[in-house]
Structures are given as structure tokens and as C-alpha cells.
Amino acid sequence: MSILSEFKEFAVKGNVIDLAVGVIIGAAFGKIVDSLVADIIMPVVGVVFGKLDFSNLYVVLGTAPAGVANTLADLKKAGVPVLAYGSFITVAVNFVILAFIIFMMVKQINKLRKTEAAAPAAPAATPEDITLLREIRDSLKRPS
């Protein structure tokens, strides 16, 4: 089998296509969660904790050259080593929210699977040989 035909067989398998769809949806979902955290949750958290902007929380680890503004973006652009823990807080909150949403989705999917599995199935018809064996058993039990 040639490499091209092996690749074709691999690429058209259902699992590979499902994985590709999952990755694409996951990337789009990640952008939605990023926006949710950055545009909705973090501003509310910032208001609760005194109007903090977590994206601008940092510690300068080196010396800033003269004339460089004391903002995170300008310091990074100047190549000054900066410990940007505010960005880490934002990403951590992002992860917790994403993990919670995925947990809730898996929980609901499992709940749906349980209800489908718990649905009563119609009783299966007894095979003819079992019916005959039961009749023989019952006739042997009867007194003659």
C-alpha cells in the first residue's frame, strides 16, 4: 500500500474528521471564553477590588531605559524583563471558566446518555427452544 493511499485512508476515518471539527469548535469557543473573561468578568472583578485592571499588573525585573513610559506594553516593547502576573491571573480565570463550562457540558451529555439507556426496552420474545424446554419441564413436574 502506498503512502498516499494510507494517508487517504487515515484522513477520511470518522475519528480524524471528528477531531478536526472538535479542534475548530474548541478554538472558536476559546475566543468566546477569552472575550467573556476580558470584557465581562474581569471588569466586574476589577470594580469589586477597587477598579483594578489585571492586565496591567506587573513587576519590573530590570531597569527601564530613560524615556520609556511605565506601562506594560511600553516596557515589553523596550525589552525590559517584566513579571506580568496580571496577565497570568486573567489566563487562570479564563481556564477555570472554560474548565467549568466543559464540566457542565460533559455532565449534561452523561445525563442524556443515562436517560437514553434507562428507557425501558420492549421485552424480547422468548426463543422457541426455550419455550419448548419450559413446556417439557412443566410436564415432567406434573403428577402422572
Q: Give the model confidence (pLDDT) of 47-98 as tens digits.
A: 887 766 677 788 988 888 888 888 888 888 888 899 989 888 878 877 888 7
Q: What would you measure as the largest C-alpha separation in the chain, in angstroms? A: 115
C-alpha closest to that of 89 among 50, 36, 45: 45
> Are residues 26 and 32 in contact, defined by beta-carbon separation less than 8 angstroms?
no
C-alpha 7/C-alpha 14 separation (Å) is: 14
Q: What is the pLDDT of residues 7-25, one digit of tens each?
A: 777 777 767 777 888 888 8
pLDDT band at 118 (very low <50, low <70, confident <90, very high): low
> Looking at residue 121, what is its pLDDT?
64
Yes or no: say if 41 and 93 are a contact pair by the CB < 8 Å rule.
yes
The pTM of the whole model exceeds 0.75: no
Residue 12's SS3 state is: coil
Q: Residue 125 pLDDT > 80, yes or no?
A: yes
Cell numbers 469557543 correspond to: 29
Set of cell numbers at residue 52 = 483594578
Q: How many residues does the chain have?
A: 144
Provide the H-helix boundaries in 12-49: 14-35, 42-48
